[in-house]
Structure 1
Amino acid sequence: MVSEGKLSGRQRRKNTSLQGKIFKLWEAYESGELSVNGLLRKCRKATPRTRSATTNKLLPSPRVVSNVIHKAGEAMEKESNLSYMIMQMGQFLSHDFIMTKSFTNDDETPLECCGDDKECSECFPISIPAGDTMNTTCLSFARSKSVFDCDGIRQQLNGQSSYLDLSCLYGTDEDAANELRLFKGGELNVSSTNNLPPDMDDSTCELEGSYDEAYNYCPMSGDPRVNENAGLSAFHTLLHRAHNIFARGLAFVNPHWKDEELFQNARKILVGIWQKIVYGDYLPLIVGEQAMKSHNINISPDGYKETYNVNTDATVTNEGGIAFRFGHSNIHRMMVLQDQDYKLSMTPEPLQLSYFKCKWYHAFNGRGHEDVLRWTADAACPRSDRLLEPSVQQTLFEDGRGISSDLAALNIQSHPF
């Protein structure tokens, strides 16, 4: 980034012009002339590229590319020395520093880019070729919410803080955090079975059967994606419980501390442990010890490192967000639970049957999520390669009509380089 004082005359004039446009748009928003989505739509430049940069021919459908390049075979290839926990850890980690929100209608309902909203400038639907196994000819796709920078380049907005601060557990703002807090003893709210508290709006999952405050509700955490799969919900629960354990321990040795002091210190301890796990245990397995050392992000064997720089821009780059999607090839095709003896406690079922469902989280009197984590830590991880399992490449978020999506195609459409 270049400081204002180092800009050339031409750059300064361009910057002033852009700032003027932004101020005018903001005034229109504050006066009620523009909605939030209207403001964001105005703050964009260019449309996504649909033609080859070298031949000018139309680019193929992302679904075609996905089927040729990313479709997995009958047998699932596995890593020889990594458990499935590496994927679950990676998913939770990515949710801690990235959340890309798509454009919606002004009432926050999704854009129907294959239907009523297909003419919307923020729609970029994916065509499905004839003869494809998908039960549709079009996948709805809304572009990411964005604004333009000082160079007039469209930049995506991040709904998370960009820091490894467990914002996906505690929430990204005070209102979200307060909804999760017990405000007693520094603890977070829990259910009657010591699990994640219920989302009273049932907005984060699809309930099957009647609501039950102990064994059938949508678990709530600091991120709306918490119930995307049972493994993710279980990982949230693991850290949620850890916070309360630390809060109770701090209260025992510091009986004079009030709720706020207990909460903030328990949070600080948990975030510190989380960062240690990421940099000390997870990343070395992903990028290797040599890369950790060469980039000076390895952890000292004792003491601490004086490498923090308050002037460093911690914003997640688009390239960083794209690169982290390597973990999509690690997603399993099945959902399995194992009991305390590491024996199957359910008949394995395709992963797509549990997207945004909570039945396995609450199974076995509220202990199902523990069985999920036990299997996650014991099972071999699908291989890190270019192949995505059917659970995400063929049947992602499959609905009752048999219409699903394709994670590889969505990735390609998001970044059509």
Structure 2
Amino acid sequence: MKRVAILVLGDIGRSPRVQYHALSLVRAGRHVDLLGYVETQPPDFLRHDNITIRAIPALWASPRWLFPIWAPIKVVIQLCCLLWMLLVSIPAPSHLLVQNPPSIPTLIVAQWTCRLRSTKLIIDWHNLGYTILGLKMGPDSMFVQVAKWIEKTFGRNAHAHLFVTQAMRDHLAEEWHLTGQKVVLHDRPPTHFAKLDAQERKEFLAELKNQFPDLAQFDPSRDHLLVSSTSWTQDEDFSILLEALCLVELDMEDARRGYDSDDDEDRAPRLYVVITGKGPWREHYEDEIRRYGFKHVCILTGWLRAQDYPKLLGSADLGISLHTSSSGLDLPMKVVDMFGCGLPVCAYNFACLGELVTSSTGRTFTASVELKDHIQKLLRDRELRDSMSRHIQEYFATHRWQSEWASKAKGLFDELPEQ
């Protein structure tokens, strides 16, 4: 059985596109060596005889003031570690699939490995690494300019390039003159992302109350459930959502004046917002939530098991995405997941979002007032939400990850047997 190596310098458990690549390759008859950090539990479907997870040792993340000193040291350590794993620890693969970013030192290691082991390199362009670094260091930083040169130089030549958007393909093909096959492989949800029926929703929310006790008072016949997922990084400004919810709360306060009874049977509707994810800015925004002191909007933050996340999306009334894209060329995977569950979405607008979100599937915004208006309109208009949900489900009934991968990416891996 031929082997494919997949490299992501990130947490495997929080890298869904890498997970789906691995599963698709196994279904196509390959053994997969999956290299990445193991910081969270990988999903159960990666427990497969033909998938070998090889953990990359995680290194200390330095504060910003130490970055100029620690970053070069960290790169050298990672370079040596990855070279050992790819050149010594694993059998020679026919193909090496690298998710970019991170670009440094993964693209350097990938090029050297492929030359030394006669392996074909496939780069999966998820975003542009130097633009993410620019959020932290500023776009004019010397570190950012060096990172851009490395990404361009070591990312230009490959057997094939995969892109998450047409905009990214066009930009890199024109600006960086990429060589090799260039294929747009949009993110698509796998089949286990699906809308729950009323009974499934009731059972799941009952289980979820163990993790979020505040959901004990949730009444699906009267209350609404919003969901958002995040990596709590700088490219998602959650203050926009908090400001929008503050405006929603003011309107809810006015509406509650019509409810004179303290009886729970006659109370005003509540809005529940569940935000899932891990990341460096989580504590900052949790402090912000406490400072707002919401009374009628209940905001819950936490981390869900991989098998529970699709169920949460399948139980919600509306999804929220605050992804802004450091490059303006990628798309939020969370929106794809939400669409897989038939969930209408309010998404922060940027250049290429139109490749994913349309007026038939959601709404876009750039300010908290816009988001507040969209939330209220969609939650009040059940018929509109249902219409959007039907449109989403009809489209994604035939646009799932496996079919997309089989038609676009499978041919890049030579001599794969038919499924």
Q: TM-score, normalised by structure 2?
A: 0.27
Where relative contact order (Cα < 8 A, 6+ residues apart) is larger, the structure is 1
Higher helix fraction: Structure 1 or Structure 2? 2
